Every structure is written in C-alpha cells, then in structure tokens.
Amino acid sequence: MPQSYISGLGHYVPPRCVTNKDLEKLMDTSDEWIVERTGINTRHWVDIDTESTAGMGVKASLIAIKNANINVEDIDFIIFCTLSPDYFFPGSGVLVQEQLGLGTIGALDIRNQCSGFVYGLSIADQYIKTGMFKNILVIGSEIQSTGMDISTSGRNVSVIFGDGAGAAVVSASEKKNRGILSTHLHSEGKHAEELMAKDRCCTSEKGKPFNAERFYPVMNGNNVFKHAVTRFPEVINEALIKNGYLSKDINLLIPHQANLRIAQFIQRTMKLRDDQVFNNIMNYGNTTAASIPIALSEAWQQGKVNEGDLICLAAFGSGFTWASALIKW
C-alpha cells in the first residue's frame, strides 16, 4: 500500500498589511488591547478588486507544485478548504481547476472552518493510500476582511482575522515510515452557535428590512477558549498514542493560529519547549482554514521542518470541530 507524504508547500498573503494602529482609526481599540488578548500585531487584508479566494489558492498552489518538483498537469485531484468561497455555489475547487488549466479532474470543497485543512489532509491521505490518486492538491484559502463588522461593536471578532492562502501537494510514496502516519477527526455540533455566521443570503426575512448584523460572524470567546484548551491536548495525545510517541518526541507542533494565548496554554499543558511549537499569528492573524498550511509552509521555508522530523498539526474551531495529523517528514 502506498504511503502519503507532503511533497510540496506554498503560501500567499495579500500585500496590504493592516496593523493594530490602523484598526485604532476604525474602532475603539488599541494596540495594547489586541496584543494582550490575541497576540496579534498585524494581519493581511485583500484588495477585493484584485484578489479572490480561489485566486489566492492558485498562487499558493503554484508555489507548492514547484516545490514538489512536479508539473501542474501531474495534479489529479483538488481539495479546497474554506469558509469564504467565491460563490455560495459552486465551490472554489472548480475555479482552481479552471485557473490552473487542469483537465476534468475532481474537485472537492470542505467547509470545516478552522479544522478544514487537517480534514482535507485526512481525505487526501485516504485517497493516496487506496491508490486512487498520486498527487493531490490540498488548499486552505480565506478572505474574511470583507465579511466582518469593522467597527467598535464588532471589534472582538474583526481584530482577530486575516486573509491568505496555503497549499500542500500530497503525493504517493513507497517508502515506509514516512509521511502522514495518522489523522484524527472530531466534532460536537451542540456548540455550533458559539462561533458562527448565521445567514448566507442578502435577503430580508418575511418582509423585514435587511439586517447586516445577521451576516457578521459572532463568537462566544470565553467558551471557545475553554473548549479549545481541552480539545487541543486531547487530539494531539490521541495522535501520539496511536503511533507510540510521547510529546517530547515532537520536533514541531503547528497548531491552528486562533489565538496566541491558546497556543501558549497548549505548549504549557504538553510541556513543550519554545522550539517545539511554531506560531505566526503575530504577523497574519487567524486565517482559519489557511492558518495551518501558511504556518507549515513558513516553518518549512525557515528550515524548521526537516527530513525525519516528527510534525504534529492540530486544529480546533467552529462546529465545534477539532482534528490532528501526525507526520514523519
């Protein structure tokens, strides 16, 4: 049975960098307030006239494909993870297929928000191991800046999120003890309304005037934090136990970049050193489905992911959903 491994990584963020000082001009907030509660200094927001969710995914994908040392036409399946598709339907996966000039390969869209990329990686892993595909493009891409309440009333959410895309090529290998060792997926829908955007269509309800606030994301931050710091260690340990490892064996943990305080809590709980955890939320904010592939790509680019390393990816978010993947690089 072939093994699946990540053969190439790439990421892209839009050029416009928005600082906390920039946000002070738009809402009643401060750099100190944002850093203390989230750890974020800057995030990137799109120029909506020049960027799209699929388009950013394509830019990240071309880098990943180049780093995988394959040609675009070698991609035989696309998995696109996002909560901010270009259209309500069709999904953005088919737009990537068209923009990359691929043949009539399949394109699957995933709506698992912050856990989306790990869910996508899990699906790619199964397809590779069954022999169905050889090179699968897994993309996480988000444009969130255009769908938030950029005012004082929406600051608890809007200061957190950024735009960007990350991509991975998942390929088949005959090498044993290399690649994706296991993935672990969970959900608990009773908490769905703790972090959500309720409506999808810009229409009035039963003749009532359009209420834009129904389309903005809402979050019960305290409850999300409480569940995240429980589920993250659980799902990381689940992966470690499955494969006979201990937390001290992890070379690099890349958590979903939700909040620096959450990542630091996980690090303390797992008794990991600073060099065992990679965070970049300070520079990009929470890019939801794109956060793990951007972080993984950046860590690899900085020489922090090397052959033979044990890499753990872990995510928690809206749904609630949470997931982990353990990889022998």
Choosing from 20, 44, 81, 114, the catalytic residue is 114
Do the beta carbons of residue 281 and residue 259 sit within 8 Å? yes
Between CA 281 and CA 162 the distance in angstroms is 9
Choosing from 256, 259, 280, 312, the catalytic residue is 256
Choosing from 112, 279, 280, 286, the catalytic residue is 286
Residue 206 is predicted with a pLDDT of: 54
Q: 243 and 306 in one domain?
A: yes
Residue 288 is predicted with a pLDDT of: 96
Residue 207 is predicted with a pLDDT of: 54
Q: 190 and 136 in one domain?
A: no
Q: 36 and 166 in one domain?
A: yes
Binned average pLDDT, 10 residues per bin, the chain of 329 residues: 95 98 96 96 95 97 98 98 94 98 97 96 98 98 92 92 98 90 96 79 50 72 89 97 98 97 96 98 98 98 97 95 97
Q: 161 and 242 in one domain?
A: no
Q: 61 and 43 in one domain?
A: yes
Instruction: List pLDDT tens digits, range 13-57.
Output: 999 999 999 999 999 999 999 999 999 999 999 999 999 999 999
Which secondary structure element, helix H or strand E, spans residue 266, and what is its range? helix 260-270
Q: 169 and 196 in one domain?
A: no
286 is catalytic: yes
Query: Which is it for the CA torsion 85, 87, 93, 96, positive or negative?
Result: negative
Structure tokens at 55: 């388009």
For the entire predicted model, the pTM comes to 0.94
Domain region containing 107? 3-173
Q: What b-and-e string marks burial along 311-328, b requiring 16 or more CB atoms within 10 Å of the CB? A: bbbbbbbbbbbbbbbbbb
**CATH at 148:** 3.40.47.10
